[in-house]
Each structure stands twice: as structure tokens, then as C-alpha cells.
Structure 1
Amino acid sequence: MDATNDKPQLVSKEEEEEEEAYYHRTQDAQLLEVIGDFGPSKKSIYSLSLALSYLVYNARGRLNPKFHHLDIARDLLENDPELKITLEEAWMKKEFKDVRNQMVKSAWNREYTGGMHRLLLDNINAMTQHRDYAGFAAIVQSSGTGKSRMVHEQAKLVFTLPFNLRNEGYDELFVTPYPEPDNNVRQFLIGFQDDSNARNNIIVFLGKIYELAAKRLGSLLNGGRMKRQEIAECWHDYLQVEGVRSTFYQDAIDATKESLGSNGMGGGTQVTMNMFTELLKTITEHTTDEAPDDNHVKVILYFDDAHRLIPSSDRWQPEINVLEALQSCLVSTYTRQLFVLFLSTVSQLGEFAPILRLPSSARTRGPGVLQAPITELPFDCSPNLPIYPYLYKLDDLSKDRFMAQFGRPLTEQSKEIIILLDVRLLLNYQQHRDITIRHEDNLVANHMRMIYCIPNTRDYLRSSYSSEPILAEAAAKNLEKYSEEFEVILDALQEAHQSGLLDKGAMVGLVARLLLTFAYDRAIRDIYPKPSGRPHYSRGVRLIDFLKALFCETWIDAIMRCTPDNVSSKVTLEDMFKDSYVRFTHFGKVTDETGTTTEHDRQDVDIMIPVLMWNKELCEYVMTAICIQVKQRIRTGDLNAYSIDQRDINLFPEDCISKETPREKSCEPVRPYISLILELALEPPPRIHSNLTRKTVSRTGQSAQSTEEGDPRSPPTKKFKPDHLDAPSKISTDKGREARYYHDLHPRYNIFAYGCSSTVYKKVNESIRYALIRLLHTPSFLAEHPREDSRSLDAVRNMKPFWSAGRASYHWLQNRVEGFVIAGSMEDTDALAADDVADHGEET
């Protein structure tokens, strides 16, 4: 059978080269307009750093964006003399292509930090491998997390055959990737036009790879013996020699074509398995240490950017599912000594997960055979970590050099509002819905969202944006354009809410985070008047300024003058926190694995904002917090019931609150905290109150009054209208009131905010208020029913999805009493009232 590639090429090599040349010419011209021609005055490290910074910026994310920051660019040049020389020569020639390519290589060749490659190998060896199809796994994670580098380093631990299937050179970015992709292998694999031809070629190709690897390894070792890891590292270094890897794979491709051309069969499955056995024999013969047990893999294959083998509209990808054909061939030659990894940013779980779809001839598989995708990748792995207390001040934390140490040192350039909000507000998505899976897949593949877990079933994933200061700063700056158009932000959230993307049960927390974040942003922009430059959101602001940006001016004086309610003190909030700062650009989830709750089984703190009490070197002893509870109820809550006590949440360490050390004899100053209760309450219309009263009376056995205005048991159903809900807007504080108890060492400043209108929050006009109410409104499932007429909805109620007062639930009962409820509690009444709010309204 002919192995030649008949598939017509969509783009010729000459066209690719011209596209690349055009890209570099355009980029060079734009760069030179900014930095000018090279001269003696431009040889300073500052000028070179500035040029490199602009070069990265103009690349628009095609190079590692962290080097756009001047101090980080300077670090790179100081630590990489070769790149510095390359930059000077490029500047003199006015051609910067070599610099762009050299930067990628420079970043790759830095010393690897961390032990994730060892963890990966340990996990592989621990996986179930006593059944077929178990020696395969996908590594699926977003860009910039070090997938390629991790398996590259793992290849120094175990004998590895690496295949880099990235697009040929440029992928429309025209910056040569490093390490260079195996173009000949990718072109060979994507060139087949039918499954049968693909399988025949691939099975022979694998055999030739094993055969050639055995021969070249034997020649490389030349009879010498060493430990298995040393053999792996020797082979790894051999493939790094320029031209060796490309020639090795080309020889295997040529041998495949020759074999298939001579007899039309090429040897098939058994020959390939024999060649793999020969490779194992060669490794064993040159090994001095004892062989690990049978569950330890001896050879690893990995395919980087494996999604390139799945059909798509991309000009570089195949017309058939070559990945499936490749996996089928690997299954047919499977042995426990072999493990195969597929790397990708794409989580097309139904199609991409290894061996999810075997050919119809494959044997039936039992449950739990396939390996769950691997998502554990390096994070927070700067060589400068860990950091130590007492070394940094607030200004140090806002510097790019400091922030780049955490998470991935990349910044996201997306302008899509919902993605930017996700980075900053920690959006909660509805689980197990198709729209959510597609959305999260897109975020992981294209917008740097992190995958934490893909279960064995592969039908959903757990993902989020981790705490990455650089990423959050970039998102804040991209959202800045909407600072005077808050409605645009709310429209984006409302669209996601109505589409079923956002978790409806988590909207109250989202609205609270939204109000807090954009108040913080306003306070930051007040520090940076427009003529002075662009705001830096990681800088932090005075706590007093943050509160003034959050709450309406009407209440600011009362808030500033409030005093502690748990100790005998007349020190006002304004005086106590006059030197304090807050700094938050995004939110992260906090968990307590002990599952601590209070005696009322309620969560004590929903949001916690760190507060730097004094601008000193950072350590625990200069920190406190704003502890926030977020509520959404029909009636306002009791102040005492929802006050936050720092002792319940262990806000301060034990040695800080010990009564055995009198405060006046210690050097530790008083550390207060703020308890902030946000009641984002929706007040129901008067009609609901009357319904509540009637139902309560009925429970006590008294007769409910009937009305001649119509049957209240089955009122007409209408769409939700925000003007039917009024937020009782006010703020309550403790000001000059006698403290209720005196046994706490930490003064608590209590603030209660009710409602979400302009009388409470700053910059909330009527249109914004209505938008917030729409986000807070959680309709019953009847509001989503496609047929909204009263007869259809009564038919649904008649099926008893819930019990409510009215004929729909009690049509079967002869003795009807107006508005009565057979069984239930007052909690049921609240639920019914919420259903009434969703279903009832004024006639239009």
C-alpha cells in the first residue's frame, strides 16, 4: 500500500515563508518607530531593556507577556548575555526576527524548578495497568502551565520517545516555537484520507520507531552499562543534538514508506510488538540497577499538541480523526511496559480523551479502565519562593517583578467581558450542563483558565481561575474602559445568567463581589488622575477611601464615627483605621476541611478582605480583615444574630488574644476588625405580605377571610418585573452606644447595609439598581416553563412538583378553605412567597 500523502496542501511552503517575512517586517517597522535607530547611546542596559519591553508588547501575546515589564526584561538580559548580543545585532540590522525566536529558547533552557515531573512519573507508575487500554492518559491544562517542559524533564527519568505536533513553525504567530516541532512526523500523520490507510501506516511507523531506537541506543551506549535513569538521560541528550531528532524520525518515515511499498503490508501488529520487545531488551542489556517491578513503565511516548490530529477547520489539521487511528494502533500493540501521554489545552472530553472511542472491532471494555486526564501542573514555582515575613512593604507587592513570581508569569489579553469578570469575580457556573462544559473548554483552551479535576467519567470538569496577580491586574486594566459604563458589565452578567451559564444559587455572592470590586477600582482611579497615567490596580488604597468609594455619601459620616460594639472604647473607625490599606484585585476560594460551622449552622464569613493596619514590613502581626456576610432575605435580619465574632473564625492567633499577657505589658498594638453585613434584600410587594398573614392565620386554626376581588388561591402568572421589588435601603452602625460585652481584646466595628440602591451604594443609579435586582432574582422553575398561560401552569402545579395554597394542589379535596395550608412550616411560607414573586404580577 502506498504511504505517500495525496492530500493537497492548502498553503504552499513559499506562501508560509512570505507570510512569516511579512509579519516580521511589519513588527520591525512598528518597533523602530518607537525605539529609533541604534547608536552608541542605546547600548545601556536600560535602553536595551526598553527595546525588549516594546518588542514583547508589540508581539501582542505571541511572546511571554511578562517580559513587557521593564524590570523583568532587564533581568532577562542581565542573565542571558547571548540574548543581549542578539538584541544589539538585531537593532543595528533593524531586523528583530532572531530576537523573537531567541527569547522563546532562552526561557525554555532555564533550570527547571520543582518536582512535578517526578510526581507525574510516580502517578503513571501508580495507575492501574493490569488491563488493556490502561496505559494511556491525557494531560489537559490551559496555556502557560508548563505541560511541554514537564514531560521534557520527565524524559530524563525514563526512556522517552517524544513527538511534538505543534503547527509548522508559526501557527499564524510567525515566531519559531522552541523546542522545534517535529514537522515531518506531523505532516506524515495528518496526510491520510481514510482510516484504513492511516492505521496501516501508523502501525508500521511505530514498529520502525522502536526498531531504529533500539539500534541507535545500542550504538550510543556502545556496550556500556549504566542505571536506567542514566540511560534515559543519555537518550534525552542525544535527541537534543541539532538535527538528530528530525533525522531519526525521517528515517522511520522513509522506512515505513519503503516497507509498505514493497509488500503492501509492512509487517503489521505482531512485527511492531516484536520491535518494541527488542527495544526493551536493548535497555535491559545496558542496565546495571535492578529492574523495577512490572507495574513500572520502561518506555514512555508522548504526543504534544495531540489535538492537532483531530479534524477541524484549521488549515493545519487532518480531514479524518488521526488521533483515534493512532490510539487504536497503540491499543493493538499495548504492553504494561509502555505508557502514552497526550498533551493538549483542549478538553473535548467526548472526543479527545484517550481511547474513549475505540473502533467497532475493539473488545468490550469494563468500567473504570481508562485513566482520568492529568491536570496537575506546576504553579507558583518561582525560584525566589518562598518569601519571608518582615521583608516587604505594600509598595513592593504591587511591583510586576514581585507579582510575576506567583501562578503563571503570563497575562491574558482577552477583551471579552465575561472572561475578564471571571478572572476577577470568581464566577460560579452551573455544573453538568452542555453550555457550561463548552464554555469552560473554551476558557481552558484559549483564556488561561485552570483545570483542577476531570473525573473518570470525563463528562465534566472542575476548573476556575487560580490566584494569579499578573492575570488579575491585566483583567482590571482591560475592564477599565467600562468604568463609566457599568451597565455594560451588568448586561454581560445578565446574559450569562439568563442563558443558564451562571449558578443561580450563587448570584447574591457574585453581586456582593461585584460591588466591592468596582468600589475598589474607583478608589484606585481616584489616586491616579487621568493626566498622571494609567491606574495600577495592585497598588492598594486606604481603607477609608475604599469605604467612601463603596457607600453613599449620606452614610459616610455615620460609618466614620462608629465605635466598637464589643469593647469599651470611644475610638472611631476613622481614627482606628486612618493608616490602614486594602488591596485586592481578585477573589479566591478558602476552604476549611474541618467543615467548621456555628451552632446556628450558618456560615460566619462569606468574603474576607485583608487589611494592612500599618504600612510596615508585612507579617501576620500587622494584618487584620474586613469580615463580610452576604444575605438575601425577604425581611431584614437581627443585628446581634448576624454579627461576626473573630473568635468563631480564629481570625487572630491564640497567642494574640491570650488573657495571660496583659495588652499594656506587651509590645503588640490593638488589632481591630470590621464586621460588614450586606443584606441585599428584596422586599416583596404588599400583596405577598397579605398572603403570608393569611397563611399564618390558617395554621393557627382561625378561619381565613375570603375576598370578592377574585380567587387568591390561583392568581394569574406574570413575568418578573424589577419594579415590583423594593430594596429597603439603609445602613446601621454602632455609634457611641454602650458596648454589650467587654471580654474581647479586639475591637469590632459593625456595619449593616440593607438593600442595593443608590441610597446605600455609591454610583448605583436606577438602571443599575434594576439590573442588580434582576441578577439577584432567582425565579422558580415555573418561570422557565415555555407555556406561560395560567391553564398550562396550573396543569404543572397539578402534578405536585410542590404544595401551595390553591386549587392546583388541592383540587382533590371537597372542603376547600381559602388560603389554608395542610402541612408545612413558616419556612415553607417563605418558599411559597418567593414562588409568588416569580409567578405573579400586575396585569399588563
Structure 2
Amino acid sequence: MGKSRMVNEAALSVFTIPINIREELGPNLKTYPPPDRQFRDYFHGHDVKSDIRLQAEYAILLSVLFTKATELLEKPIFKHETGAALASQWADYLDDGQTDIEAGTNRNEFLDSVANRAYQLQLVELGLLQQDQKTAQTKLDDSINRMQDSCRKFVKAISSYEGRAKEVKGIVYFDEAHQLTEPIPPGRKTDARSRSPYHNLGIVLSELIDFPVFFIFLSTSSHLQTFAPSPASHPSVRIAQGLPPFTELPFDIFVGEVFETLKSQGKFFSLENVGQTSVMAGFGRALWYVHHKAWLDHQGFPVISFAGEKLFAQGNKARVFHSLIAALGVRIGIAFDTTTQASKTMESELVESHMRVVYAIPEHREFMRAGSPSEPILAEAAARRLNGPSDGNGIEIQGPEILAQACTKGLLAKGVRGEICGRLLVTIAHDIAVRQKHSLPDLYSPDPHFHRPVHVLDFLRALFAKQFETVILKANSVTAREGIPNLETAFANAYIFFSHFALAKNSEMLSARNLAVALLRGMALQAKDHQESIDAVIPVHMGDPTESISPASTSAINLQFRNRKEAKYCRVPRQTTVPDEKVAVISIIFEFGARKIGEPGLVTVTKDIPHDARSSASKLHRDDHHYEIVAHGCISETFAAIPSAVESQYQSILSAQTIVEDFPRAGDEECLQAFENLRPFFDGLQEPVKWRK
């Protein structure tokens, strides 16, 4: 999310002391910003120390930090500056000479001197050995008093602070702070030591609560409970009253800028223009746009390749499945089963290393709400990997394999499996249509490959089996009214434009006006839970990709996903998305659970000639330009997007296991009887028999 860059930007407005305590990642891995090594090492070796000893050491460290900063501010270059001017000057001073792998010289000298002096004072004031409880507490109190005094002088040096301030005057932040949450080693937990370094540091910081200095801990750690334990489990009541983690970080902040640039260049908001990398980079996290601008100035690593490195954890072979399910989640939207520990662990690991975004952490801090929001750059990177030549398998093979494995691991919620299969299928068809028209790009190509317009008819050919091509393309509308063109003619110049799915909050988002907005972003929409008759919508641009996008030229492919044994006819109300009766609309009903044999076939076109619903012969019926397709089964006979080799994977995904099917000895009648005697359910056929006996 660019947390480090964000606080660096804030440092230009508020006086900030930056500290990075990230561990060494090895010579081949680079992460911004570089660590402050000696300062980080000050926190090592904590496992042999008591809680009171650690608190005293941290109070000494902070005392020296404030004192050294105050001394530096006496330099002539900082004289007569206050507020944002001083903050900016201080930030420039610390950043001088910084590179991607090394901190600036001034920052190194400053923080190294703090760590070295704190080590010296440790030896003088605390000694090498543990003291008795009373002596240790006295020395801790002395260290706390000195820390408060040095903080008071520091605040006065950076502001006109007198008494209790109403706003923050200074910030101290610890980047990669998960290093502080290391647990106490097994066998070392005693009455004298029961807290992590992070908790002990928090106790010390609580002594500075009346000062206008704010402490920030930055981390993408998956171990939520070590950073923000629920109040009930926190070892310090005073610290437990603190704030839940902040997750609301900048998003979409450059959208206005990229569209203003298009306007200034006299370009239409067309599919062709909004599908450029420079526009895609404006959506999502700020770091995509910043990285792309830097690449334009200096070349190097294109932003799509950069996003791929972030999404796939720089090719970490030990996390291949994590990378793949993260990539699939970016494209089709994956909701994890929040009731299982396996899914909670997986989701938190995707947040930590695979670009999944935390939306919210509740006040009770028992879990996190996370997801993959709409980010075209990340979706393009995911599409390249899922269709890449590295293993020879495209998304039509990898997609169902990933989902089936996720189901086996108990990661996916059972109630959404039909919908997730449906979103996967149409995404596969989209990618196949792209690959049939365009060869795969070079790994480091700066231009989008999958985030591009796809002809509606090419999409339908890629989705459905070859045997149904004529049935679909020559389909009449629902009313089969004379003079209305068939589907092929109606959509002869129509394009879809989506590389990923995003969640619609309400049905208003599915209207033509907002579907035009979705086209600007290159996304399809997943309907909210319990949306009547429509589960997802693919926006359609009626016109050439060079023509401007507008609500008037926007149509839709409405999608309905059903996973039931018996198909039951359920009309799709086209007016939900495109109420203009003159605009052609397609609806596709997927009956995954029903394998229809014989006539009228696996794929049918709805014909439902209405009764006299027109006030005049010239008045259009809402279904006069509505083309409805019903597809049965989740098999290769129905869908070209399903290779026969992965049919079993789809069946595995769609089959929600019952409690009996999950019982490993269900085939043994005696074991099954013992299982049912536990009363997991009551059998309406058997209960009367038992009671009669």
C-alpha cells in the first residue's frame, strides 16, 4: 500500500524521526526503504532479559533519541525554522545520500549515534546482570523520568509547545515493526518475563501519552494478534485501551490526474485510450502511478512487471500456491471462509506478501476483513502469470485447479461456489479470446495485453462449445419479434472490456450509467449478496473501441449462476441494468448443477413471446432486444472454456460436501449408525419408526 512512502511524505509537513528495523532479506531481495541496522540490533537479544530490564532499556533508547535530535536542531542550518518548513528541512537532511539499499549518511550517523550511546548508558545505569525487583523498578523509574524530560526539551525545540498541545508536533515511526513482536522462546517465559518487546515498548510509550508526539508502527505482518491483541488478551490494561490498527490508506488518488491528462491531449474516453498503462496506473494504490512515472523518466522496470513481482512475492518458490490463489483472487474475487483457521491464516498471509488489502479490523481485533479491490495494473500482472508460458498451462487449466485445491483445504465458503465458478468461466473465455487474437507479450512488456477490448462475439465463441455457435449467434430475441436483428447482427460492433471483477455495493451500480464507469476502469461487476436474478454483469460498449464511452452507448451481459440439481426457469430482468428497450442486451443463465440430456439441448435460447403487453403495435416490449441464453452443466460439452481434463475439478468445486460426506467412515453401516446417534440431525423418515418401536 506504500505505507513507508506515505509517512515519508507526511514527514515534509510534520517533524518526523524515521526508524526502519527490518531484518536482512538477503542479497537478491530489495525492499524500500533500507533498514537502520545498528538501531535494529538494539532490540536483539531480548530473550534473556526481564520485562523491567527491557522497559528500562527502551526508555534509555528513547531518551537518547530525543536528546540527539534536539542537539542536531542546534545546528545553524535549522535555525529560525518552525512547523512544516523545519519538518521539510529535517527530512531533506536525513535523506541526503539515500539509495534503494542504503540509508542516507546523515540518517546513519544520527541513528547509529543514538544506538551506540544507549548501549553505553545501559552498561552504566543498568549493568550487565539482572537486579532484584526493587532495584530494577527504581532504575526503570529513573529512566522513565529522564525520557520524559528529554521528550519535553525535544518538543520545545521543534515547536512553541507549552503545556498540553492540541495537535501532534512530532512523529516517530518504526517501519517493519513486526520484528518487535517476536515471542518469548519456549522455556524462557517466567514471572519476570511474560511480554514481547513490542508490549514492553508500548508500556514505556504510555508514559509519554501527555506529550504531543505520536508513535506509528508500520507493518504488513499477518500476525494480527501480536500487533493488536484483543483488549481481553492484552497483557497491559492501559495499552489495551489504545487504537485498533489503521487500514484506510490512500487509494485512487491519481484518477483525476490521469483523466485530466487525457482531456488536455484532446483524447476521447474510449476503450482504446483508457486501456493504456498510463491510465491503468491511476487506479488503486498510489505506488503504481508513482512507479510508472519514474519508469517513464528513467526506464528500468515497467510497472506491470513490478506489480507481478509484488503479487508473486518475487518468485518465492515456497509460496507458489499462495501466489496463484492471490492472482486468481485479484481477477475473480475470492471470499474466504471466515469460520476456519486455515482460511484465516491463508488470508492474512496473502495480505502480508501477496498484495491482498485489509479493509477493516474490528474493534475486538479477532479477525480482519480483506479482499482484492479493483486495480487494473495488478489484474494485468495476474492475468499474465495465469496465462503465462512458464508451465505451459493457461488459466483454463490453472484456474479450476487452484479453486479445487482451495476447496480441499477448506478455504472457500460453500455458499458462493457456483458464483465463483461462473466468474472464473467468463474470465477464462475473455482470456482465450485475447490469446486467439494476440500473441502473449514479453515478460517485461510495458503495455497491457489482457486489459484490452474483446469483441462480444469472440467472447461468446470462446465461452461456449463449438457445436452451439450457430444456435447462439443466430439467436432471436426473447420475443422473436419480426424485424428485430439476431444476436450476431445486434452485437456486430460491440465490445467487452474487463480484466477483473469488482463488488457492487448496490443494484444502482449495475445501471447503464454506472456500467459506463466500470468500462472506464476495465472491470466487470459482481452483484451484492442476494441480488435478485443477477449475480454478475459484464459491461458492453456498443460501438468501435475508438469511440467515446457513455451511458447511452453502454449495454450489458447479465449473468445468473445456479448450482442446483434441477433447472428451474428464472427470468433475468434486463431493465435492472439497461432499461432502454432499444439497446440490445444479453443474459446468460448458468445451470451448473443440471446436466440436461437430449432436446432441447445443453445450450438453449429463450423464446417467450409475450401476451399483448404493448399499448400499440409500434411500442417496444422490454424483451424485444433481449437475448437470453441458458447453459446446462459445468462440462466441456457445454463450454469451450472447460477443457475435458479439468471437468472433475469443477465438480469438486461445485459439490458442497454434506456432514455425512465429510464423515470418513460413512460407508460402514455400523459406524454411520454410531455417527447418527450423536444427533447431528433428525431424520423425518426414521424418527416415526423409532418411536413406534
What interval of TM-score do these two structures reach, taking the shorter chain for normalisation? 0.7 to 0.9
Shift of 1:613: 0.9
The match for 1:730 is 602
* 1:576 CA drift (Å): 0.7
Deviates more, 1:277-286 or 1:300-309: 277-286
Aligned to 1:405: 282
* 1:414-433 equivalences in 2 (<5 Å): 414=312, 416=321, 417-433=324-340
Name which of 236, 255, 258 aligns with 2:91: 236
Map Cα deviations across residues 756-810 of structure 1 (whole Å, 9 max, x no partner): 2233212545553333222111121222234423334334444544333332x34
Q: What are the within-5 Å matches in structure 2 for residues 445-524 of structure 1?
A: 445-480=352-387, 481=389, 483=393, 486-524=396-434
Picking from 173, 176, 181, the partner of 1:302 is 173
Q: How far, CA to CA, are the matches of 1:531 and 1:448 in structure 2?
A: 23
**Residue 509 of structure 1: how far off its partner (Å):** 0.6
Gaps of 5+ in 1: 1-144, 313-319, 658-669, 685-724, 816-844
Matched with 1:776 is 654
Matched, 1:378 2:250: yes
Q: 1:675 to 1:322 in 2, by over 3 A?
A: same
Matched residue SS, 1:344: coil
Q: Which residue of 2 aligns with 1:343?
A: 218
SS of match in other structure, 1:675: strand
Of residues 318, 329, 343, the one that matches 2:204 is 329
What SS is found at the alignment partner of 2:691?
A: coil
RMSD of aligned residue pairs (Cα, Å): 3.9
1:505 to partner: Cα distance = 1.2
Match of 2:70 in 1: 214
CA contact 2:358–2:370 (8 Å) conserved in 1 = yes
1:189 aligns with 2:43: yes
**One of 734, 757, 761 as aligned partner of 2:635:** 757
Aligned mate of 1:614, from 518, 537, 543: 543
- Change in Cα spacing, 1:740 to 1:441, as seen in structure 2 (3 Å) is farther
Contact 2:272 2:452 in 1 (8 A): yes
Contact 1:444/1:451 (CA < 8 Å) preserved in 2?
yes
The one-letter amino acid paired with 2:628 is N
Per the alignment, residue 317 of structure 2 pairs with none
Change (3 A) 1:257 1:558: closer
Cα-to-partner distance string for 1:183-237 (whole Å, 9 max, x where unaligned)? 22112222545233544322211111122333443556988474x4445445434
The Cα shift of 1:574 comes to 0.4
TM-score, scaled to structure 1:
0.63
For residue 649 of structure 2, what is the amino acid of its counterpart? A
AA aligned to 2:341 is: D
CA distance 1:767–1:738, shift in 2 (3 Å): same
Say yes or no: does 1:677 pair with 2:589: yes
State how 1:428-443 maps to structure 2 within 5 Å: 428-443=335-350
The AA in structure 1 aligned to 2:178 is H
Deviates more, 1:529-538 or 1:624-633: 529-538
**Partner Cα separation in structure 2 for residue 810 and residue 727 of structure 1:** 42
Measured at CA, do residues 728 and 191 of structure 1 come closer, stay the same or move farther in structure 2, by a change above 3 Å?
farther
Report whether the alignment pairs 1:172 with 2:21. Answer: no
Q: Distance in 1 between matches of 2:682 and 2:233?
A: 49
Which digits, 9 at most, give the CA deviation of each residue in 1:145-187, with x for residues without a partner? 110111122233433322122346x743365x65543222112
Q: Is the 8 A contact 2:229 2:365 kept in 1?
A: no
Q: After superposition, what is the alpha-carbon deviation per residue over 1:93-138, rounded to whole angstroms, capped at 9, x for unaligned?
A: xxxxxxxxxxxxxxxxxxxxxxxxxxxxxxxxxxxxxxxxxxxxxx
Per mean C-alpha deviation after superposition, the further-off stretch among 380-389 and 612-621 is: 380-389
Alignment-mate amino acid for residue 424 of structure 2: L
1:818 aligned partner: none
Q: Does 1:394 align with 2:265?
A: no
CA drift of 1:327 comes to 2.9
Query: What is the rounded CA distance, in whole Å, between the counterparts of 1:333 and 1:538 in structure 2?
Result: 51
Q: Would you say the 8 A contact 2:561–2:589 is kept in 1?
A: yes
Structure 2 equivalent of residue 268 of structure 1: 140
Distance 2:431 2:26 in 1: 37
Mapped contact 2:567–2:594 kept (Cα < 8 A): no
Residue-by-residue CA offset, 1:420-457 (whole Å, 9 max, x unaligned): 32222212211142111221122112111111112223
Pick closer, same or farther for the CA change 1:594–1:750 going to 2, 3 Å. Answer: closer
Query: Distance in 1 between the 2:471 and 2:611 partners?
Result: 17
Give, in angstroms, the shift of residue 240 of structure 1: 3.5
State the distance in 2 between where 1:537 and 1:347 align. Answer: 31
SS in 1 for 2:19: strand
Quote the offset at 1:477 in angstroms: 1.8
Q: Distance in 1 between matches of 2:499 and 2:164?
A: 49
Deviation (angstroms), 1:483: 4.2
State the match for 1:28 in structure 2.
Answer: none
Give the one of 501, 507, 510 matched to 1:587. Answer: 501
Amino acid in the other structure paired with 1:619? S
**Aligned equivalent of 1:572, options 475, 486, 493:** 486
Go from structure 1 to structure 2 and tell me whether the alpha carbon gap of 1:293 and 1:559 turns closer, same or farther (over 3 Å shift).
same
The CA deviation at 1:628 is 0.8
Letter in 1 for 2:593: A
CA distance 1:595–1:802, change in 2 (3 Å): farther
1:637 is matched with which residue?
568
Distance 1:174 1:751 in 2: 50
Separation in structure 1 between the aligned mates of residue 473 and residue 507 of structure 2, nearest angstrom:
37
Q: Is the 8 A contact 1:303 1:343 kept in 2?
A: yes
Q: Which runs of 5+ in 2 are unaligned?
A: 97-103, 128-137, 184-194, 289-305, 313-319, 512-526, 614-619
Q: Deviations over 1:567-626 (max 9, x none)?
A: 84421110010011112222111111889999xx75231111111110112232222110
Instruction: Choose from 538, 559, 562 the match for 2:451.
Output: 538
Q: Is the 8 A contact 1:519 1:550 kept in 2?
A: yes
Specify the code of the residue in structure 1 equivalent to 2:670: R
TM-fit CA distance, 1:629: 1.0
Provide the residue aligned with 1:557 in structure 2. 470
Q: Does 1:790 align with 2:669?
A: yes
State the match for 1:14 in structure 2. none
Distance 2:177 2:560 in 1: 46
Distance in 1, matches of 2:141 and 2:172, equals 17
Task: Tell me by how many angstroms 1:727 deviates.
Answer: 13
TM-score by length of 2: 0.76
Supply the AA of the counterpart residue of 1:437. Answer: K
> Which residue does the alignment assign to 2:109?
247
- The 1:582–1:380 alpha-carbon spacing in structure 2 relative to 1, beyond 3 Å, is same
